[in-house]
Amino acid sequence: MKNSIKTIILGKKIPLFLDSGKQLKNFKIAYQTYGKLNKNKNNVILICHALSGDQFTAGINPFTKKPGWWSKAIGPNLPIDTNRFFVICSNILGGCSGSTGPKELNPATKKFFNMSFPVITIRDMVKAQKMLIDELGIKQLLSVIGGSAGGFQALQWAATYPENVISAIPIATSFRHSAQNIAFHEVGRQAIMSDPDWCNGNYIDKKKTPKKGLSVARMLAHITYLSEEAFQRKFGRNLQNKLSVAYGFKTDFQVESYLKHQGQTFVNRFDANSYLYITRAMDYFDLPNQKKGGLKNIYKNTPVKFCVISFTSDWVYPTKYSKEIVDSLNAVGANVSFVEIQTDKGHDAFLLDEKEFNETVRGFLNSTANIMGVN
């Protein structure tokens, strides 16, 4: 499956009004599609990616030359079956894979945005996605699906555009960012901004890259994506290419080598300023605070059908957060199902080949499609 690089210019006539009070005109959204749009245009599934994701969910990523980040879930006869569904995924606003963000040129000044790019929120990202969907002539989405920060977006879609969403599958996520998660993000941001090559965010102009800071930020974040059990199973206290410790500060343990590799490869594909902006958008996410009365009023009388999924070993967004979402939906009589997947793979389990998870997604989508008469 080949991936072409698709972009569209939005906000030509009506700008995108941001939560910060600022606005964006003539901004780009990069996106990818899989499968075919049916005659009734009622087989559309929107995939929302997480912090470090992009629009290339399946096939081969033309930038990294590696399989798309959700290739295990999207494709012919897979849980999100492209024989039946038309799948869309866009690079989020503020991202670094073609959508307008800090590494792109400001069309008004013809200079790189860098840190002059406006601070954005999850709701801003969803507004941009809605503009894309409108531009593509799609009136209603069969489902909006996302894990982690993608789950934030799925929940926001259901809150902001319930009339345009039949169903939502928020995975391994929460209704707001916790203090602990904000703290992890701040350490990552400080690592980037403390790198001399960050140059106050103007590193592109200086022809530099804050590689060390971004690498450390990724290493820290990656620790949160796995569980203690997963780290122990994969690495334990195994040494890296040696029989005994070296009594120094070079790489002794396999887990150290693994984290360094994760940091180094991340630097090659991700923009440091985008990392700052997206993590801040995640920190600002607080769905109950968007309306008086909190989640209950946000989803009161919602027509959206929900399938909330969590993982037992996820300590970034533990099951208790999913249950609070489910309890709020149940309190207003919403159509909601909930599945907690037993696994020791941690937060990233939704990206891996988990049989129960795959069958849950497949079953929910097919049931929803059958009810809606999708051929």
| CATH at 159 | 3.40.50.1820
Query: Does some domain include residue 293?
Result: yes
Instruction: Please indicate, yes or no, if residue 17 is contained in any of the structural domains.
Output: yes
CA distances from 213 to 191, 234, 253, 265, 276 (A): 5, 26, 22, 13, 11
What is the residue whose two structure tokens read 């140059």? 199
Q: Which is it for the CA torsion 344, 348, 350, 353, positive or negative?
A: negative
Cβ pair 315, 224 in contact under 8 A: yes
Mean model confidence pLDDT for the chain:
95
| Pair 312, 200 in one domain | no
- Does 14 have pLDDT greater than 90? yes
Q: Which of 280, 311, 328 is the last residue of a domain?
A: 280
Per residue in 53-97, pLDDT (tens digit) is 999 999 999 988 999 999 999 999 999 999 999 999 999 999 999
Residue 179 CA to residue 337 CA, distance in Å, equals 28
3-state class of 253 per DSSP?
Answer: strand
The reported pLDDT for the residue numbered 216 is: 98
Is 314 known to be catalytic? yes
- Residue 3: pLDDT band (50, 70, 90) is low
252 within domain boundaries: yes
CATH number at residue 216: 1.10.1740.110
Nearest alpha-carbon partner for 91 in 148, 144, 49, 133: 49
Supply the pLDDT for residue 266: 96
- Cα separation, 287 vs 176, whole angstroms: 6
Say whether both 151 and 22 belong to one domain: yes
What was the pLDDT predicted at 1?
A: 55
Residue 147 exposed, middle or buried by CB count within 10 Å (0-12, 13-18, 19+): buried
Point out the catalytic residue in the list 314, 322, 328, 348.
Answer: 314
Catalytic residue flag (residue 177): no
Q: What are the two backbone dihedrals, phi and then psi, of residue 367, each rounded to the nearest 5 degrees?
A: -65, -45
- DSSP assignment, residue 119? P
Residue 78 sits in the same domain as residue 173: yes
Say what the pLDDT of residue 344 is. Answer: 95
The set of residues, in sequence order, having a beta carbon less than 8 Å from that of 218 and lying 6+ positions away, is 52, 188, 262, 263, 266, 267, 270
Q: Which of 255, 280, 305 is where one domain is finished?
A: 280
Are 349 and 297 contained in the same domain? yes
How many other CB atoms are found less than 10 A from the CB of residue 235? 17
Express each pLDDT in 228-249 by its tens digit: 999 999 999 988 888 888 898 8
pLDDT band at 296 (very low <50, low <70, confident <90, very high): confident
10 Å Cβ neighbour count for 9? Answer: 13
Residue ending a domain, among 280, 299, 320, is 280
| Residue whose pair of structure tokens reads 């929120």 in the numeric block | 121
Q: pTM for the full model?
A: 0.96
Q: How far is CA 276 from the centre of its chain?
A: 15
Q: Which residue has the tokens 């490869």?
A: 265
Catalytic residue status for 222 = no
Residues 238 and 265 placed together within one structural domain of the fold = yes
Q: Are 270 and 315 contained in the same domain?
A: no
* Residue of 49, 177, 185, 347 with catalytic role: 347
Structural domain including 109 reads: 6-180+288-371
User: Considering the domain boundaries, does residue 1 fall inside one?
Assistant: no
Q: What is the pLDDT of residue 248?
A: 86
- The vertex-91 CA angle with 89 and 96, nearest 5°, equals 155
Both 258 and 348 in a single domain? no
For residue 133, being part of any structural domain is answered with yes
Number of domains observed in the structure of the chain: 2
190 in the same domain as 172: no
Do 160 and 263 fall within a single domain? no
Q: Are residues 297 and 154 located together in one domain of the fold?
A: yes
Catalytic residue among 97, 99, 148, 322: 148
State the sign of the Cα–Cα–Cα–Cα dihedral 342, 58, 188, 256. Answer: positive
